[in-house]
A and B are shown apart, each in its own frame.
Chain A
């Protein structure tokens, strides 16, 4: 309020950025709602909105099955990353054991290795283990994430050591201290990481692309890509499929946008 004349260009800039961010998503939904006769019109809202494109998608590919697979995969991945991350961070924070630096480095540097460098050996290993075309195969390699360990490590470091010491004096074991004292106090970090891991897993594309053979076992990004290569220029159904694939995440964002933004910023870009 201090500098009224200066506020106007500021708002203008933010509005331009917001439109740039939102319009493509809006255009996807609007195109999905357009009947075939209107598909090439540039009108910002269809004259006769219809759900026929959604019907088309549901008939062409087992979309509900695919969404269910994805929900399962993303939940399992998030749960696994939270669990392995909590355990590892607890070890790193709680005990000054020999090798702690090495363990930190091994976990911390793992994000530097690009997926494409390890994909062939991983593909061979997954094939040998019979993990192709399974949900487990999508979850297991992603069951631990460096950023989960780092986020929990930072959250745990601020936990007062005296409380842990007191609990230990009372005879609580290491695991009881973790689950009954430390973890319940980390709810914000736990929630943030669960949401973040869920969204990343939901949007995962390349590893599923390598493992998936049949569309009934596909996750949603693969289903979308398969749909695109089959019906690439059926714009209405294409946008309906993309809308269906995004709805769960967009709904989650509508409810939790503040927390989601915070958790993304906390863990950096990867």
Chain B
């Protein structure tokens, strides 16, 4: 790496000051360069593209259209439908990524010994399963004619459910598959946070006659709030992005666009209908919303979270 440092501050200049000022940047250069070239410059490029009409063919010209792309997105039903679906994905994910894991983490806190380690390793497995593999697994389990789940439902006397075919159900199926990968991970994260709560607090509260529920409500939940808020924020920011892959592999946004979220919409505009400007405009709207949500949640975390000091 000294080689790079040398390029940035040639010894020929013989200015030790300059050299030492350039040194940190030399070390930062690889990471910064890649981040700039593959994340920030394309972001700026996308912002520019959102004011143009372009069909993605290198030979065809880009035509400036002002705010047209945004106007179209905001007036045509596609975007608002996708935005609503995006909210449904996030809201649907919260029980799987936060509420159930929280309940499990609190209820299993007394567990000790070997069983605990084994459960940990088992419930974490979905997290390392590739999303495409998860999609294939569930496509088979939930298959409407031969899937195991529908076979089970039939035994119980229910007709076959079109988990991926029914427009009222498909979105929730995708939410479940996305959440299936997260339950174990969230549970372990909350368990770890729960385990760091000093037993002396609990002891003291019990001595004062606090019930089990009061201990949970007044001590555990407030002390777990940083982790709860973190998981909520992650779900709000990334939940719909995680489900994007299942939309693309399993439903293609259908049936009747019922599973299309904004991330799939961008994909659809970009690489299916080849309207790069629309895709970019939808991307910028999404990015601005995400940034606002992130800012809001970070504020909220600072204000609401209780830290054990």
Contacts and interface: CB of A to CB of B under 8 A. Distances in A.
Interface of A: 1-3, 6-7, 9-11, 13-14, 17-18, 20-22, 24-25, 27-28, 31, 39-40, 42, 83-85, 87-88, 90-92, 94-95, 97-100, 103, 106-107, 110, 112-122, 124-125, 127, 140-141, 143-144, 146, 149, 173-175, 178, 199, 202-203, 205-206, 210, 220-221, 224-225, 228, 235, 238-239, 242, 245-246, 249-250, 253, 257-258, 260-261, 264-265, 268-270
A203 B188 contact: no
Given A88-B31, A116-B267, A175 B42 contact: no
Interface of B: 1-2, 5, 21, 23-28, 30-43, 45-46, 49, 56, 58, 104, 107-108, 110-112, 115, 117, 119-134, 136-138, 140-141, 143, 146, 148, 151, 180, 183-185, 187-189, 192, 230-231, 234, 237-238, 241, 244-245, 248-249, 263, 266-267, 270-271, 276, 279-280, 283-284, 286-287, 290-291, 294
B247 to A, nearest CB: 11
A88 B237 contact: no
A230 B129 CA distance: 22
B192 A116 contact: no
Nearest to B36: A106
Q: Which residue, B28, B131, B180, B284, has most C-beta atoms of chain A within 10 A?
A: B28
Contacts of B117: 258
Given A10-B107, A27-B137, A116-B270, 6 more contacts: A149-B31, A203-B128, A206-B244, A221-B132, A257-B121, A269-B234
Given A10-B110, A120-B56, A173-B2, A114 B24 contact: no
B110 A106 contact: no
B146 A40 contact: yes
Contacts of A246: 129-130, 133
Given A112-B291, A242-B136, A175 B25 contact: no
B24 A224 contact: no
19 contacts: A2-B110, A10-B108, A17-B123, A17-B183, A18-B119, A18-B123, A21-B122, A21-B184, A28-B133, A83-B30, A90-B27, A116-B263, A118-B39, A121-B49, A174-B2, A174-B27, A221-B130, A242-B133, A258-B117
Given A85-B31, A235-B140, A235-B146, A21 B123 contact: yes
Given A107-B35, A225-B249, A116 B283 contact: yes
A14 B187 CA distance: 11
A107 B31 contact: yes
A121 B111 contact: no
Q: Which residue, A9, A84, A103, A146, has most C-beta atoms of chain B within 10 A?
A: A84
Interface of B is mostly: helix
B66 to A, nearest CB: 19
A174 B3 CA distance: 12
B252 to A, nearest CB: 11
A225 B132 CA distance: 7
A117 B130 contact: no
Contacts of A42: 148, 151
A106 B32 contact: yes
Contact of B42 (A100, A122, A238, A253): A122
Contacts of B132: 203, 205, 221, 224-225, 242, 245
A216 B202 CA distance: 60
A121 B41 contact: yes
Contacts of B112: 1
Contacts of B270: 116, 119-120
A245 B132 CA distance: 10
Contact of A91 (B25, B151, B287): B25
B240 to A, nearest CB: 9
A10 B241 CA distance: 33
Given A88-B31, A118-B46, A238 B136 contact: yes
A27 B148 contact: yes
A127 to B, nearest CB: 7
B124 A261 contact: yes
